[in-house]
Structure 1
């Protein structure tokens, strides 16, 4: 099948933030741009680390590429290995400003929407395969309350509520610093290899569960 006829996987990373000059999430997804993985064509986009703007860029990419799978990727300095996020919560609460100087505190992302959404990636299967390939990995139960969580919540809300995206899988992966950024760390080749595993396992599982699952707990006080 010609590459243009293959179903699409959309990978996103973020630009550097917090005074850093590099962000491994963006570098890793760009390394996979144009690749064919498990019968899918990879499209990569860099998102601005800015509340609101990041979702606008992601939403435009969704409309352009109509992917079967969306994996957003972000940097989590201080974490070890790849963290496959389980849940996004309906809350922006930034401890530092984003790249536009915004610092929302205790603000719902979507007023009146569910308190949280679960990722629709096959989390345990992804982690098991990552570990089988010698990469440190775990399921994470907190994507934070910064722009990463904002993007994951907006994505899963769209997949859950818009019939246009019925059956599309979505989720988020946090990756550690590069060795030159600090410790613990993982080299860029390891991050890229890990994202390949995430895509390959997740595309192989498409169709097992159609669409995301809602978590309807109350908003945190």
Structure 2
């Protein structure tokens, strides 16, 4: 895994942070979230989503899950949890969308449903523009195969992929297939309304669908604990834990240029990537450099952490001094490179323009200010 799709800007404009700034303003009061489940359907006597929704507390104090990574500490957020058990029919699928259109507002929306084929919880990232009902809904409606609107699929507004880079108490997986029954229909109606130009709430409100395994495979207690963890993460901007390799040679440092057709193509960077759950920074950079170049490196202690923000994510970039164990970098030997088209040694005094990725140039400024290359030679 590379840093593609991770680092865009060294400074985040305030207008890009509007949704999260609203939450900051609510920190000492109450944020309002909506959690929905469904009644039993088909041959089921129970629906775990209803059981979980009915077991949730009315209020929850949330602590920043990324507090150890964030540059500035965030105070706890007290949230008021509103719950609703939806009917398994056309009326239930549009109920929240209609309430949004009528002016109701929440700071986050979580839909929950039951998935009999799931072995672990699934965080649904996409709602299909399709209704294909294997069985009738509770109102007797059965649509064999039809588009919901004809406008195409819609995607979750919650930063679900960023949530993968933090430890969780429970196992879960991302999914792009919420099915074609009422779960998908409800997710589609709500997201379409939030993302509509006429929306009073705005598309930046985090909303997604959680599929839980049936009650014979998953307990209500585990489901409730997972939902509380999810709500906590919905209240805070995620922080991506990222490492980059600081490889030096006397008064020069190594930089790499991304391949043209990649995300952030042709940008220059200190190569690296995201720290996976359970990895140390050193283990992560050794793995990343091996994946990106086929090099074997030895990683040392971080020289510092450099922070910046994207529209929905904060970045904690750790610069890790590395020495190549096998041989010195051969710039022309690119057969094992997976993400870059060029590398070069760049003198610390070189001020010529370079199209940097993210906040990497701040590392160069730090080296100049501290005389790091002089000290390390």
Same fold (TM over 0.5): yes
Q: Secondary structure at the match of 1:42?
A: strand
**Gap runs ≥5 in structure 2:** 1-25, 63-76, 239-309, 314-377
Pair 1:163 & 2:187 matched: no
- Residue of structure 2 in register with 1:195 after alignment: 227
Aligned CA distance change for structure 1 residues 9 and 108 (closer, same or farther; 3 Å): same
- Say which of 225, 232, 237 aligns to 1:205: 237
Pair 1:55 & 2:93 matched: yes
| 1:44-123 alignment runs, 5 A limit | 44-50=83-89, 52-59=90-97, 61-62=99-100, 63=102, 65-111=104-150, 113=151, 115-123=152-160
Q: For the Cα contact (< 8 Å) 1:178–1:188, is it kept in 2? A: yes
Q: For the Cα contact (< 8 Å) 1:33–1:44, is it kept in 2? A: no
Which of 136-145 and 159-168 deviates more?
A: 159-168
How far apart are the structure 1 equivalents of 2:132 and 2:97? 22
Q: For the Cα contact (< 8 Å) 1:24–1:75, is it kept in 2? A: yes
How far apart are the structure 2 equivalents of 1:134 and 1:209? 24
Q: TM-score by structure 2 length?
A: 0.49
Q: Secondary structure at the match of 2:96?
A: helix
**Gap runs ≥5 in structure 1:** 180-184, 211-221
Q: For the Cα contact (< 8 Å) 1:125–1:201, is it kept in 2? A: no
How far apart are the structure 1 equivalents of 2:53 and 2:185? 19
Deviation at 1:64, TM superposition (A): 7.1
Deviations 1:78-134 (A, max 9, x none): 2011100010011111011111111112211124x2x111101121344455xx343
Aligned CA distance change for structure 1 residues 61 and 37 (closer, same or farther; 3 Å): farther
Deviation at 1:170, TM superposition (A): 1.0
Q: TM-score by structure 1 length?
A: 0.81
Pair 1:144 & 2:179 matched: yes
Q: Which has the higher helix share?
A: 1
Q: Which has the higher strand share?
A: 2
Deviation at 1:197, TM superposition (A): 1.1
How far apart are the structure 1 equivalents of 2:104 and 2:61? 16
Q: For the Cα contact (< 8 Å) 1:14–1:46, is it kept in 2? A: yes
Q: For the Cα contact (< 8 Å) 1:35–1:41, is it kept in 2? A: yes
Aligned CA distance change for structure 1 residues 87 and 56 (closer, same or farther; 3 Å): closer
- Say which of 163, 166, 173 aligns to 2:210: 173
Q: Considering only CA atoms, is the larger Rg found in Structure 1 or Structure 2?
A: 2
Q: For the Cα contact (< 8 Å) 2:94–2:190, is it kept in 1? A: no
How far apart are the structure 1 equivalents of 2:160 and 2:186? 18
Q: Secondary structure at the match of 1:54?
A: helix
Deviations 1:198-221 (A, max 9, x none): 1111111389449xxxxxxxxxxx
How many residue pairs get aligned? The number is 198
Deviations 1:146-180 (A, max 9, x none): 0000001111100110330213221100000113x
- Say which of 17, 22, 30 aligns to 1:6: 30
Q: Secondary structure at the match of 1:7?
A: strand
- Residue of structure 1 in register with 2:68 after alignment: none
